[in-house]
Amino acid sequence: MSVAALNELPGAGSGVDATRRRPARWLVPAGLAMLLASGMLWLLDREHGEPLFPLRSVSLAGDFGHVSEADLRAAMAPHLNGGLLSLDVGRIRAAVEELAWVRRASVRRIWPHALAIHIEEQQPLARWGEAGLVNASGQLFTPTAMPEGLPRLAGPSQRREAVVGAYNALAPALEEYGLAIDALSVDARGAWTLKLAGGARIELGTHSLEARLGRYLGALPRLRRQAGRVPERVDLRYPNGFAIEWKATEQARKQEDNRAAQ
């Protein structure tokens, strides 16, 4: 409802404003009292021989494809001393999020004796370099074991998010033609190179990646019908076209071998 509509309601004058202001007279003292009570309970929990609210259970929820319950409990263990009131939930969350496969975690108290932890696992999009993985947002993480079958992305560290963004833009276009990215990289000069799962190497140049790839893909069905061969290298760095180096057929290889033997 807009402010103008509120002002047109009957009784929207000073009497309503006074009614709205009235709760503020007791809200501040009540808030101070709650804060004081919380502080007193915290002091008692710290100084008392036994915690007022001892921690009796920790529940874990979320995705557990790569993160084990044992890893989570080991990460939390140093921070679970004391009662529920004195636990540092921020430190517990930070300890859990240090695990390589944990993207984010939430930690909350469940009174009077429990702690609930929910984790969101990393979803790897591709490999980054030799030892890292990246998710779809470009976040880098480095687990001890690498999943198989992921595409490889590479480039200067400061271009990591740009490389992931380019992958996210180019991969769906290629999938429409039954193609998949095996590797995508950008060098220090800003030149992009794409390698398809079938082996073809595509030189994309330094700009207009989607437009250049789209021009090639638009001609691909006709090229497949006419050539009957698989491209080995495609150069898209031309302003109005592209160049293709075809992979030699088995017959062409035999002819070349025969010529070399003579």
Domains and CATH numbers, the chain: 57-121 (3.10.20.310), 126-259 (3.40.50.11690)
Mean pLDDT across 144-173? 97
In which band, very low, low, confident or very high, does the pLDDT at 19 lie, cut at 50, 70 and 90?
very low
Residues 186 and 24: their CA atoms lie apart, in Å, by: 60
* C-alpha distances in Å from residue 199, one per residue of 52, 139, 183, 249, 251: 66, 28, 10, 14, 19
Query: pLDDT tens digits, residue range 26-58?
Result: 555 655 545 544 544 445 455 555 778 899 999
Query: pLDDT tens digits, residue range 204-220?
Result: 999 999 999 999 999 99
Residues 107 and 91: their CA atoms lie apart, in Å, by: 10
Spell out the residues 6+ positions from residue 183 whose beta carbon is closer than 8 angstroms to its own: 151, 152, 153, 154, 193, 194, 195
